[in-house]
Amino acid sequence: MFVKKSQKELEDHANIQPTYGSRTMREEIPKYELPDEGMPPTAAYNIIHDELALDGNSRLNLATFVTTWMEPEARQLMTETFDKNMIDKDEYPQTAEIELRCVNILSRLWSSPEGEEAVGCSTIGSSEAAMLAGMALKRKWKHRMQAAGKPTDKPNFIMGRNVQVCWEKFCNYWEVEPRFVMAEGNSFNLRPEDAIELCDENTIGVLAIMGSTFDGSYEPVAELNAALDAFYEKSGLDIPIHVDAASGGFVAPFLQPELMWDFRVPRVKSINVSGHKYGLVYPGVGWAIWRDKKELPEELIFHCDYLGGDLPNFALNFSRPGNQVIAQYYNFLRLGLDGYTAIQETCREIALFLSSNIAKIGPFELISKGDTIPVFAWKLKDHFADTANFSLFDLAERLRYNGWLVPAYRMPENRKDLIVQRIVVKEGFSRDMAGALLADIQKHVQWFADHPGFNRTMEGKQFSH
C-alpha cells in the first residue's frame, strides 16, 4: 500500500522540484537580515545569479582598467586554488615561492640594476602597494630628519592633481600633507619644474604616474629625475621618486621598452603596479617593488619563521587570497615577453583605430589617442561645447542603452570645466567589438543631430578615479 505524500513532504524534497516552482521563488527574500531558514543551493545560486544580471556586462565595461577576461586554464587554476591563504607561507611554501618568483620577474622587467638587491611583495592591488611604498618613503625621510636633529611632524608628498584617489588616501591615513601640481590649460599632469617649486626638507618624495587615469598619458619620469638632480645641487636635498605604474608597469616594458621610467632612472626608489590591470589577472592583485632593500626600512618588516628560514612580511592585510598571485605566475609562464607584447600591441592598435575614427565623426577632439597605455579620452570641440544640444554625459547615458559603459567625467581641479569621455582597451576587446561600439557612437551622435530640441545635461554620475 502506498500513501500519497503531502505537499509539505514534497517541498522538503527540494531537489525534485522545478527550480522556479519552489516556495523560495514565490516568496520575498529577506535582504537585510539573516533568514531564519536556509534554502536549497540551486535556489540560492539562481536568486543571486539573476540579481547580478542587473549589473553591467563586464565585457562591455570600457570604464574599468581591471581584467575582465582570462583564459579558461587560468580560471581553472584560480578555482583550484581559492582555498590558499597567501599568508600561510609555512603551509603553502610553493605559493610563497611563486610570489617570490613574480617579484623577481617584475624587478628584472623594470631593469633592476646589477649590484642592487631589489625587494618586493604582492598586495591586494595598487592601493595597498601605494600605502606600503608611501610608508617606506615617510619612514626613510623621518630617519634622515632625526639624523639631522630636525623635527619630523610635517611631512609632505608631491604629486599632480591627476593622482588616483589612493594617494589622497595615503596622505590622509598616514598624516602626510599632499602638495599638488595643479592642472593648467591643457596640461593635466605633473610638471617637473612646478614640482620642484613645492619641494623642501619635509618632502618625503615626488610621485610620477605611468598611465594617468584621466587620459592614459605618462608623466615625465626622466625629466623629473633631472630636475631633482639640479635641485639637489642647489639645496642639498636628496628627494626620491616613487612611480605609480598601476597600468603602465605592464605596458611600457612591452610597448615602449626604450622609455626611461623604471629602475634605470636613479631616483626611482620604488614602483607599484596592479597585476589585475594590464598584468591581466582578475582582481585583486598588485605589486610593490623597491630598487634596493635599503629603501625599505627594516623596522617596517615583520619576520616569521618559515621552514627553518626567515620569511619577511610587509603588508597591511594578514589573510589574503593566494590564487591571484598564482594566476599572475600563470600569465608570466603562459605569455612570456612575446605574449604580453602581442596582447598589449593588439590593445594599442584597437585603441588607435577607435580614437582616430572617433576624431573623424565631427564633434569630438582627442585629448590623447591611446599610444601610451591603450587608453584615450576625448572632448567636444571647444567651439561646439557651448552650443551643442548634448554633453558627453548624454552620450555616455545613451551608450548604456546598448550595454556599453563608457564614462564621461570632469578633468581635475582647475580644469573641472572640461568634460571628457574615456575608453580603456583591454585584453578581450576585439577589433570587431570596437567596430560595433563605433557604429553605436555614430548612431547616437546622429540621434542628437536629429533631435535639436534635446536638452543636454551637465552633471554626470559620480565617477571616481
Ligand X SMILES: *Cc1c(COP(=O)(O)O)cnc(C)c1O
Q: How far is CA 432 from the centre of its chain?
A: 25
Residue from 43, 196, 246, 280 binding ligand X (CB under 6 A): 246
Q: Is 274 in the site for ligand X (CB under 6 A)?
A: yes
Cβ distance to ligand X smaller for residue 242 or 410:
242
Calpha distance 128→86 (Å, rounded): 15
Single-letter amino acid code for the residue at 67: T
Calpha distance 170→123 (Å, rounded): 15
* The three cell numbers locating residue 176: 602626510
- 218 φ, ψ (degrees, to nearest 5): -95, 140
Calpha distance 116→5 (Å, rounded): 77
Q: Which residues within the stretch 396-455 sit at the binding site for ligand X (CB under 6 A)?
A: none
Q: Is 247 in the site for ligand X (CB under 6 A)?
A: yes
Q: Is 372 in the site for ligand X (CB under 6 A)?
A: no
Residue from 74, 120, 125, 271 binding ligand X (CB under 6 A): 125
Burial class (CB in 10 A: 0-12, 13-18, 19+), 11: middle
Question: What is the C-alpha R_g of the chain?
Answer: 26
* The three cell numbers locating residue 62: 570600457
Calpha distance 322→122 (Å, rounded): 10
Site string for ligand X, 302-321 (x = CB under 6 A): --------------------
Calpha distance 179→160 (Å, rounded): 8
Cβ distance to ligand X smaller for residue 65 or 250:
65
Q: Is 120 in the site for ligand X (CB under 6 A)?
A: no
Residue from 205, 286, 363, 370 binding ligand X (CB under 6 A): 286
* Min separation Cβ 345 and ligand X, Å: 20
Element (H, E) at 439: helix 431-450
Residue from 122, 164, 391, 421 binding ligand X (CB under 6 A): 164
Q: Which residues within the stretch 166-205 sit at the binding site for ligand X (CB under 6 A)?
A: 166
* Min separation Cβ 230 and ligand X, Å: 26
* Min separation Cβ 464 and ligand X, Å: 10
Cβ distance to ligand X smaller for residue 65 or 364:
65
Calpha distance 292→117 (Å, rounded): 5
Calpha distance 314→191 (Å, rounded): 32
Q: Is 244 in the site for ligand X (CB under 6 A)?
A: yes
Residue from 63, 65, 74, 160 binding ligand X (CB under 6 A): 65
Q: Is 209 in the site for ligand X (CB under 6 A)?
A: yes
Beta strand pairing call for 119-123 and 286-290: antiparallel
Calpha distance 379→361 (Å, rounded): 12
Q: Is 250 in the site for ligand X (CB under 6 A)?
A: no
Binding part of the chain for ligand X, among 139-147, 209-217, 327-335, 411-419 by CB under 6 A, reads 209-217
Binding part of the chain for ligand X, among 104-112, 239-247, 377-385, 401-409 by CB under 6 A, reads 239-247
Query: Applying CB under 6 A, which residues contact ligand X?
Result: 65, 125-127, 164, 166, 209, 211, 213, 244, 246-247, 274, 286
